[in-house]
Chain A
Amino acid sequence: MTRIIAIANQKGGVAKTTTVASIGAALAEMGQRVLLVDLDPQACLTFSLGQDPETLEFSMHDVLLGRISASMAVLKTDEDMTLLPATIDLAGTEAQLLTRTGREFALRTALEDIAGEYDTILLDCSPSLGVLTINALTAAHEVLIPLQCETLSHRGVGQLLDTIADVRRITNRDLVVLGVLPTLFDARTNHSRAVLADINDRYGLDILGPAIPRSIRFAEAPAAGRSVLASGGRIKGAQAYRDLARGLVDGTATAAQPELIGARA
């Protein structure tokens, strides 16, 4: 059965796109058939995987408005993944969907036709709690929350969990929260560990591991048009994503990581 995972956090700059590209590449390395869906009008995932959003004929804009089927918009990437790309038009899609009945199901309906062709579908959400994010949470089986371990990111987790509760109540009763993934992580600071400890304590969320360490290679990878796994080789961050992907497949990534929340002890 196809597994659909939304990578969501309304806070910007927490490594949602990097997480989607890297987990996707890691799963593809493991032989999985992977579809990545770019739901951010900034089209960062599309650009990061070597496409030029300015020159695309079809995008998620056309798919979500029902003008074309998802299979007409898919693109192959160099790393053996498939991409449903975004363009800046997606900013207008949100406004157009707002007046439609069943707007929150546009993505789920679009993916129904092609989901069977993939083992895993990763949804790269936009940094907002708008209709596009609601669509992603409605279409997904699970949601993973990347979190930069700082106070302002911590503040957004409660708001996101409220939105997830609304989605569970109204459109997707079976949505599962996989947990929080520490990104841009600096293990040297007590603050990072204190944020994770408080989130684990306050919301009862699992802390996924391994934490993704901060690295300049993540910032450099989009320029090469490939994920950090292809461009960064065996750096610690790339290996962390490989370990995380393996943990997601065999279920071991969802256990709380005591070493990450040691500040509570």
Chain B
Amino acid sequence: MTSNPTFDRVRPRAAAAPTVAGVDVQGKSALFSGDVVTPSLGSVVITCSECHVATVASYVRAIQCALPSLHLLGVRREYPSWMRCPACEERHWVKLRFH
């Protein structure tokens, strides 16, 4: 914190509004079409190469989207998996990040 008393009333970052785990208290979902909730343990972030939206999904939902799917890990570097994107509901090349 600052040693200058002039700025004591300036709030520290992210202290302006209360936060509740898993809930979009500040309404940020209006700005982002992807999930604004931080991925929790046991979730998968699916990023679509077409609509660019990163969606946080449970493993069960990710498996549902991946039926059927194609994974070219060595061939396609950035978006190696072909499966249904949960955001645009179309089959595109996607990137998966497991948490």
Residues of A within 8 A of B (CB): 98, 100-105, 108-109, 129-131, 134, 151, 154-155, 158-159, 161-162, 165-166, 169-171, 191, 194-195, 197-198, 201-203
Contacts and interface: CB of A to CB of B under 8 A. Distances in A.
A100 to B, nearest CB: 7
Interface residues of B, number: 27
B51 interface: yes
11 contacts: A101-B88, A102-B33, A102-B88, A104-B32, A104-B34, A108-B52, A158-B13, A158-B14, A166-B32, A170-B36, A198-B2
Give the dominant DSSP class at B's interface.
loop
Contacts of A108: 52
A171 B6 contact: no
- Among B30, B33, B38, B87, chain A packs the most CB atoms within 10 A around the CB of B33
B62 interface: no
Given A101-B88, A104-B33, A158-B10, A202 B1 contact: yes
Contacts of A134: 31-32
Nearest to A131: B31
B53 to A, nearest CB: 5
- Among A101, A129, A159, A166, chain B packs the most CB atoms within 10 A around the CB of A101
Contacts of B2: 198, 201-202
Given A101-B87, A109-B52, A169-B38, A151 B31 contact: no
- Among B6, B12, B35, B52, chain A packs the most CB atoms within 10 A around the CB of B52
Contacts of A131: 31
Contacts of B51: 101-102, 105
Given A98-B30, A202-B1, A151 B87 contact: no
Interface of B: 1-4, 6-7, 10-14, 16, 28, 30-36, 38, 51-54, 87-88
Give the dominant DSSP class at A's interface.
helix
Contacts, number: 79
- Among B3, B14, B32, B87, chain A packs the most CB atoms within 10 A around the CB of B32
Q: Nearest 6 CB-CB pairs, A to B? A: A105-B52, A102-B51, A158-B13, A198-B2, A101-B33, A198-B7
Given A158-B10, A170-B54, A103 B33 contact: yes
Contact of A171 (B10, B11, B13, B32): B32
Given A101-B33, A101-B87, A171 B52 contact: yes
Contacts of A165: 14
Contacts of A198: 2, 4, 6-7, 10
Contacts of A102: 33, 51-53, 87-88
A151 to B, nearest CB: 7
A109 B33 CA distance: 15
A113 to B, nearest CB: 15
Contacts of B36: 166, 170
A36 to B, nearest CB: 24
Contacts of A191: 6
Contact of A151 (B6, B11, B16, B38): B6
Given A102-B51, A131-B31, A134-B31, 11 more contacts: A104-B31, A104-B52, A105-B53, A129-B31, A151-B10, A169-B38, A170-B36, A171-B34, A194-B4, A201-B3, A202-B12
